[in-house]
A and B are shown apart, each in its own frame.
Chain A
C-alpha cells in the first residue's frame, strides 16, 4: 500500500503549507514561540495565553460549527467535515498530566517549538530533541505492552 493523504489533489500540499505559514505567523506574533512568555502566563504574570487559545478556538469553533452541519465534502480530499473528537480514556488524563509537567517545566509545546526555531531560537533544539526522544520512548514501550506475550514468557508465567 503506497497511498498517502497528499495523493488526493495537486493543491493539497500547497494548502497545508499555506495553513502552516499562517499558523507560524500567529505563534510568532502572539509571543508563544518564546518559552518565557508561556512561563509568565503559568506564573500569572501575564494572562495573554488565554487570549491566544481563546481566539484560536473561537475561529475554529465557528468553522467546525458551520462546515460540520453542511453535507459538503472537502474540495481537495473529498472527506466529510467531521469534528475533532477523541475517545476519553485514562490515557487522556495521564498524558495530559505528563504533558502539563513538561510544559510547566520548559514553557514549550510542539507547535510553539517549531515556530521558535523560525524566530532563530536554535537553543530550542534541546526541546525538539527531547520531544522526539519522548515520542519515541512512549511508542516503543506501548508497542511492547501491546504485543502478545512470547511462548517463553507464557511458560514462565505458567510455571509460577
Chain B
C-alpha cells in the first residue's frame, strides 16, 4: 500500500506528537500571549555570560526561556520513563552533530526562527515570511541530506 511505503512506522505517533507540540505552544500562547520558539533560547541564554547588545535584547525573556527549555527536557524524559524505553544514544557521528549544530545556531538566529518558531508558530499564524523560511530550509536540508548519504557518510 502507498501509505505503508510513505509511513513505514505508522502515522499515529507522528500526528499525536505534532498535535501535542501544538497544544504546548497554544497553552503558553493562550495564557501569556507569547509565541514561544525554541531557538531564541540560544541567544537569550548567552546574555547571562555576554553583554553583547545582540544577546542583551533578550534579557527580559531569558529566565522563562530557560524554564521552557527545561520543560522540554523534562517532558521528553518523562515520556521515555513512562513507556519504559531505556537511554537512547544516536549513532550519527559527532562531527556531523557539531558542525551541523554550528550552522543551525547561525542560521536559526539570522533567519529569525527555527522549526518551532517559523514552522509551528509562524506557519500557524499564516505568516508568508515563515512559509518562505520553512520552504527554504526544507529544500536545502533535503538536498544536503541526500548528498551526504550519496557520498557514503552513514550514519
Contact = CB atoms under 8 A, between A and B. Distances in A.
Nearest to A4: B60
A74 B33 contact: yes
A112 B115 contact: yes
A130 B25 contact: no
**How large, as a class, is the contact surface on chain A?**
35 or more
B1 interface: no
A23 B45 CA distance: 19
A53 B120 contact: yes
A97 B69 CA distance: 25
B129 A88 contact: yes
B14 A123 contact: no
Contacts of A75: 31
B71 A139 contact: no
Contacts of B29: 60, 63-64, 67, 74, 81
Nearest to B80: A119
B39 A110 contact: yes
Interface string A67-102: 110000111110111111111100111111111111
B101 A106 contact: yes
**How large, as a class, is the contact surface on chain B?**
35 or more
Nearest to B6: A47
Given A120-B87, A131-B105, A105 B100 contact: yes
Contacts of A51: 7, 11, 14-15, 18
A154 interface: no
A83 B19 CA distance: 19
Contacts, number: 550
Contact of A123 (B38, B42, B97): B97
A128 B46 contact: no
Of the candidates A15, A57, A73, A108, the one having the most CB atoms from chain B within 10 angstroms of its own CB is A57
Contact of A119 (B26, B53, B77): B77
Nearest to B73: A118
A126 B98 contact: yes
Interface in B119-151: 119-130, 132-134, 136-149
A31 B9 CA distance: 11
Given A42-B142, A131-B101, A134-B105, A56 B96 contact: no
Given A17-B67, A43-B149, A120-B88, 4 more contacts: A73-B33, A104-B100, A118-B79, A136-B50
Interface of A: 3-6, 8, 11-13, 15-36, 39, 42-49, 51-61, 63-64, 67-68, 73-77, 79-88, 91-124, 126-140, 142-143, 146
29 contacts: A11-B31, A20-B75, A23-B71, A31-B9, A35-B90, A35-B92, A55-B19, A55-B22, A57-B124, A60-B26, A63-B30, A77-B34, A84-B127, A95-B107, A95-B109, A96-B134, A98-B111, A99-B103, A99-B106, A100-B136, A100-B138, A102-B104, A103-B141, A110-B115, A120-B80, A127-B100, A130-B98, A132-B42, A136-B105
